[in-house]
A and B are shown apart, each in its own frame.
Chain A
Amino acid sequence: MTTVSDVDPTQGGLRKPVLSLRGISKHFGAVSALTNVDLDVHAGEVVALVGDNGAGKSTLVKILAGVHQPSSGTIAFGGEHVVLSDPATALGLGIATVFQDLALCENLDVVANIFLGRELDPMRLDEVSMELRAWTLLNELSARIPSVREPVASLSGGQRQTVAIARSLLTEPKLILLDEPTAALGVAQTAEVLDLVERVRARGLGVIMISHNMEDVRAVADRIVVLRLGRNNGEFEPDASNQDLVTAITGADENAVSRRASRRRVQQSPELGR
């Protein structure tokens, strides 16, 4: 296995999209979760997907992971038209996903979870090699997992997050989808995950990252794509102003965030408000 650090970073940044979505729609009964969404991700690029609750971010990720099938629209992966009919197909193409609801089996231990569905030596499980590889992956992520032989049920939210990320890296994917990767993490672990995202990018992989945390998004994203009520609502550079982003996310200049900001301004300097 090649380690994250020893891959030539210059191969990143090629201008050919790894993934391109055109006109993706998804209906759940009468509800349109996604309407005509377009999205391109290039090799060696981190695309942040932001939007309010219910904007359709997680639905989009689940479509790319093969969990849901789009109602209409096309998906091209590596220039080829593909149909992601189930999670195994997506994994086989090289799309690895870290889900928000982490999708780990709590009754299995860490090693079994990391290798789930991809066990070494199917007829006579090679536990020693799997455990060794699990430790290597977890150490690369500077993970603090006490024991890989305890069931996942005994781990904290952050530790489970690390296990889920380690699992996505096992298959040497071409595109990684991270759904809220830092939501459950502490300060140091957040920084480590962001470092990890950068190392993954340096290997020339495409990354789609969903986050509500604008600070994290600005820190690593090359491009910020905004979804609102299931539609594309603008693309921004990471240095775009906070106000522009919030406006795109909420859909109005006048919104809860701006109202709160102006209220605070008034409170801090009362004479301005009079």
Chain B
Amino acid sequence: MTDDTHQASAKRLLDRSDERVRHADTLGSVVGAFVDRVRSGDLGSLPVVVGLVVICTVFESLNPVFLAPDNLVNLLFDCSTVGVIALGIVCILMVGEIDLSVGSVSGFSSALVGVLWVGQDWPVAVAIVTALLLGAAIGALYAFLFNRLGMPSFVSTLAGLLAWLGLQLYLLGSSGSINLPYGSPLVNFGQMLVMPAIVSYALAAGASLIVFATDYRTAARRRAAGLSASSLGRMVLKALLVTVVLEFVAYYLNLGRGIPWMFGLFVGLCVVMNYALTRTKWGRSMSAVGGNREAARRAGINVRRVYASAFMLCATLAAAGGILSAARLASSSQQAGTGDVNLNAIAAAVIGGTSLFGGRGSAYSALLGVIVIQSIASGLTLLDLSSSLRYMITGAVLAIAVIVDSLARRSRLSHGRA
């Protein structure tokens, strides 16, 4: 920090030579910049955090079981299935398209795993891989309809919603459901398997170490290149904050059954997706296509391939979510993937801060959004409210999230933040 100011006085940093830009270098100005950003409509994950606090306060005051460790562990099990589907929705929303059939695709793949594994005695791994591949094929079909025939994704996936549901009912036949064997690895994974306490603490510590190491390395490279870099104090503070939060979460959940491995898988997928969206050329292309399709095309990006990757990833993740929910319920049934699965997944992505208008979003919005949605569902179930009320309340929350999204977008446009 002292050598920063020294360096700046000797020779101005390359990206600090324009005096018209305010830079948030001290802790106070970081907070100021955050307030500015929120005011101009760049809300980030603020609505989710506020929403979660409100939800927790309300439900905890109505029923003290809500925040009990074991209820939260159950909530995380439930989160993971819809969360994986929501992660796919984030992908497709990034390029400004939509997939309304994710619920049906998940139901179809859960039925397929049941039929192939239990009905046809295939090895479970082969059944799972087959279901995932068929998911990818469904995505490829949407991409073909979109790219070559110019069919709006809204329509093609609406048609898909019905078609795959029909296929699911056909596969399950008259029996209507197939029970998956209790005690099998897949069902154990969906219902029982939790991390040993020591593993969860180690993972939390490892995550904060990685955060610190990446920050430190970037800062060192930027300083060497003559660009501004964040100070050591700030990096340590951030890493400490991450450590404290993660370790506390791990500790609290370990008071109950512990952190489900299935939730670990979901978070892992979020981390990988976040890396892919922010640190790879593919991710950059996704944002570019979502922001300005024609500009992306003129920059030489193969726009069709980007769309195809988004559709295929979305459908594959929907299939994965379907397999996880079959594991969670220990059955492949006609109800799998119907009802509110579709809208919960889309709502989760939007509530978490991914824009319906394309070009803006983050993998973590699936994580945050699905926790909000599942908290509402879990809280209402604890209050013994019927699903009729649950649907209405979830619908209202989705409407509010979309209103926040479009208002924030309008405000961003007028504040020059796109």
Q: Which residues on A are within 8 Å of B, measured CB to CB?
A: 65, 67, 86-88, 91-92, 97, 99, 103-108, 112, 116-119, 122-125, 127-129, 131-132, 135, 144-155, 167
Separation of A148 and B284 alpha carbons in the complex (Å): 16
- Inter-chain CA distance A8–B291, complex, in Å, is 41
Residue of B280, B296, B301 near A125 (CB, 8 A) is: B280
Q: Write the chain A residue with the least CB distance to B226.
A: A132
A67 to chain B minimum Cβ distance, whole angstroms, is: 6
Least Cβ–Cβ distance between A231 and chain B, in angstroms? 27
When chains A and B are docked, how far (Å) is the Cα of A28 from the Cα of B360? 35
Check B239 for interface membership: any CB of A closer than 8 A. no
CB–CB B15/A122 < 8 A: no
A-B contacts besides A106-B291, A118-B300, 9 pairs, CB < 8 Å: A104-B295, A116-B301, A122-B282, A125-B280, A125-B281, A128-B227, A132-B14, A144-B18, A154-B418
Known: A87-B300, A106-B291, A149-B15. A116 touches B279 (CB 8 A): no
- Stretch binding the partner chain, chosen from B54-62, B125-133, B217-225, B398-406: B217-225
Q: Are A105 and B291 in contact (CB under 8 A)?
A: yes
* 15 pairs from A and B in contact (CB 8 Å cutoff): A87-B299, A88-B300, A88-B302, A103-B292, A105-B288, A105-B296, A107-B290, A108-B287, A112-B284, A112-B287, A118-B300, A123-B280, A132-B14, A148-B15, A151-B416
Residues of A within 8 A of B299 (CB): 87, 103, 116-118, 167
Most buried by A among B287, B295, B298, B360: B298
Bound together, the chains give a CA A155 to CA B417 distance in angstroms of: 9
Report yes or no: A107 in contact with B360, Cβ–Cβ below 8 A.
yes
Cα distance A86–B15 when bound, in Å? 35
Tell whether, in the assembled complex, residue A124 and residue B279 are in contact, meaning their CB atoms are under 8 Å apart: yes
- Min CB distance B291 to A, Å, is 4
Select the residue from A106, A107, A124, A125 with max chain B CB neighbours within 10 A: A107
CB pair B284 A125 closer than 8 Å: yes
What per-residue 1/0 map shows which CB atoms of B341-371 lie under 8 Å from chain A?
Answer: 0000000000000000001100000000000
Are B221 and A128 in contact (CB-based, < 8 A)? yes
Interface-centre pick from A67, A99, A119, A144 (highest chain B CB count, 10 A): A119
Q: How far is the CB of A104 from chain B (nearest CB, A)?
A: 6
Flag if B227 contacts A132 (CB, 8 Å).
Answer: yes
* Contact flags B75-108 to A (C-beta < 8 A → 1, else 0): 0000000000000000000000000000000000
State whether A152 and B418 are in contact (beta carbons under 8 Å apart), knowing that A107-B290, A132-B227, A147-B21 are contacts in the complex.
Answer: yes
Q: Is B418 a contact of A146 with CB atoms below 8 Å?
A: no
Are A117 and B300 CB-contacts (below 8 A) given A105-B287, A122-B280, A132-B14? yes
Q: How distant is the Cα of A91 from the Cα of B300 in the complex, in angstroms?
A: 7
Contact B279 A106 (CB under 8 A): no
A128 surroundings in chain B (CB, below 8 A): 218, 221-222, 225, 227
Contact bitstring B208-252, A, C-beta under 8 A = 1, else 0: 000000000010011001110000000000000000000000000
Q: Which residue of B lies closest to A62 (CB)?
A: B298
The answer to whether B284 and A116 touch across the interface, beta carbons within 8 angstroms, is yes
Q: Are B284 and A151 in contact (CB under 8 A)?
A: no
CA distance A150 to B416 in the complex (A): 10
In the complex, chain B residues whose CB is within 8 Å of the CB of A150: 21
Inter-chain contact B14/A135, CB cutoff 8 Å: yes
Whether the pair A124, B298 counts as a contact (CB closer than 8 A) is no
